[in-house]
């Protein structure tokens, strides 16, 4: 088989071998419904609650703030729709750089006439204006604010604590999509004024189809999904016990080795930046992604000169064995341009590529990708 390298870890990450083993073993021993009151069910329930405590401890919060979902999209939709409906919110603020799991539900609510939707100003790097945030909060009734912690396409990180403090000052409800940063950055929920956060296990070497929403103890909402009353009546549906246990273990592994793995991945990113700048003429980078200490260290978003290969760049890289993404991979089959890149470089025709890294990548992977880029741009 021809050599291939996977540099699309912001889209999903390989499942860690330890996690595959855990899931396989648990499927043999824990098959019961956690809602059942017999001994088999109680054993499954213990798995769910132990995982909840593990995640809560890692975030310095109470287990009562963690609710399991099918992933980040459900967590975002739950926070947005339930908070706005249950608290009778009429005004919402977000950024045009938000993930579609945030933009679409907010835009739907605005189109239905249920809220007025404001877009916060951003600079050329995609960083929001705290001054504009204050102005919007000051001049509108109680507001729902949704700002993603780190952008999945260009790696821009937002000042989560400052945003949360400003929202608290004006009694706003603050939701952050932390799918790209959960288990990649430390969080202390006792220090952050955040009401909702979303996470997805497959972004940190866990399985797909499982995530969680953090809900502050200071805010109450009704469930988005109704049914069997699972998750303390907050999220109906039989719990995915294998996914829940695997997510908690993957998160625990990530935080146990956070400093070491962060340093390693930053090294890979710097290595690729240096190689691109020395080997590819006129390469450019989006946002602040070349700043290793002030960007999402797993993401390197760049663009290349227009050429005969521009239209088919992603296809050609794939054919040559390099798996990466053009903008957001969640819509990679779409003919639409990236809404994120359109917001910061609206008139650019240069082909954009997002390379994203994990602990399983090596410098040899990057050398391979650079060689294939040189073939296309020589």
Domain range annotation of the chain: 5-15+258-377, 17-256
Q: Which of 344, 238, 355, 254 is nearest to 296 (CA)?
A: 355
Q: Give me the percent of the chain exceeding a pLDDT of 90.
A: 86
Which residue among 82, 289, 324, 330 is the active-site one? 330
Give the CATH architecture of domain 17-256.
3-Layer(aba) Sandwich (3.40)
Look at residue 332 in the predicted model and tell me its pLDDT: 44
Q: Which of 202, 153, 155, 180 is nearest to 328 (CA)?
A: 153
Above 50 in pLDDT, residue 234? yes
Look at residue 377 in the predicted model and tell me its pLDDT: 83
330 is catalytic: yes
Mean pLDDT for the chain?
A: 94
Above 80 in pLDDT, residue 294? yes
Cα–Cα dist 301/291, whole Å: 12
Q: Give me the percent of the chain exceeding a pLDDT of 70.
A: 96
DSSP 8-state assignment for residue 263: H
Residues 6+ apart with CB under 8 A from 169: 137
pLDDT tier, 336 (very low <50, low <70, confident <90, very high otherwise): low
Across the range 190-208, mean pLDDT stands at 98
Tell me the backbone φ, ψ of residue 159, rounded to 5 degrees. -75, 85
Look at residue 349 in the predicted model and tell me its pLDDT: 74
pLDDT tier, 343 (very low <50, low <70, confident <90, very high otherwise): confident
Query: Out of 85-99, 128-142, 296-310, which region has the weakest mean confidence (pLDDT)?
Result: 296-310
- Look up the CATH number of domain 5-15+258-377: 3.90.1150.10
């Amino acid at each position: 088989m021809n050599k291939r390298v996977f540099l699309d870890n912001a889209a999903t990450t390989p499942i860690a071998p330890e996690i595959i083993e855990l899931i396989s073993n648990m499927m043999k021993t824990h098959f019961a419904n956690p809602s059942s009151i017999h001994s088999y069910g109680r054993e499954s329930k213990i798995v769910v609650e132990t995982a909840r405590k593990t995640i809560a401890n890692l975030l310095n919060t109470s287990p009562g703030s963690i609710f399991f979902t099918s992933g980040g999209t459900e967590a975002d939709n739950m926070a947005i729709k339930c908070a706005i409906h249950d608290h009778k919110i009429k005004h919402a603020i977000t950024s045009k750089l938000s993930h579609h799991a945030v933009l679409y539900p907010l835009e739907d609510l605005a189109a239905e006439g249920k809220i007025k939707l404001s877009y916060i100003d951003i600079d050329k790097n995609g960083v929001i204006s705290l001054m504009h945030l204050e102005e919007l909060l000051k001049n509108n009734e109680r507001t729902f604010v949704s700002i993603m912690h780190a952008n999945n396409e260009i790696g821009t990180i937002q000042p989560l604590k400052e945003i949360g403090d400003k929202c608290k000052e004006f009694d706003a409800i603050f939701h952050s999509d932390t799918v790209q940063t959960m288990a990649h950055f430390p969080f202390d929920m006792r220090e952050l004024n955040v009401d909702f956060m979303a996470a997805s296990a497959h972004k940190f070497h866990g399985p797909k189809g499982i995530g969680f929403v953090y809900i502050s103890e200071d805010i109450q909402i009704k469930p988005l999904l109704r049914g069997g009353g699972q998750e303390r009546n907050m999220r109906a549906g039989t719990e995915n016990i294998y996914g829940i246990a695997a997510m908690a273990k993957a998160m625990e592994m990530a935080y146990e080795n956070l400093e070491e793995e962060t340093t390693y991945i930053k090294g890979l990113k710097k290595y690729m930046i240096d190689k691109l700048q020395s080997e590819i003429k006129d390469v450019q980078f989006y946002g602040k992604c070349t700043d290793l200490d002030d960007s999402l260290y797993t993401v390197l978003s760049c663009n290349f000169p227009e050429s005969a290969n521009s239209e088919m760049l992603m296809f050609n890289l794939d054919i040559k064995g390099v798996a990466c993404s053009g903008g957001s991979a969640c819509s990679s089959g779409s003919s639409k341009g990236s809404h994120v890149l359109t917001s910061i470089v609206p008139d650019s025709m240069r082909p954009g590529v997002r390379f994203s890294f994990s602990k399983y990548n090596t410098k040899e992977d990057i050398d391979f990708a650079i060689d294939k880029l040189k073939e296309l741009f020589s």
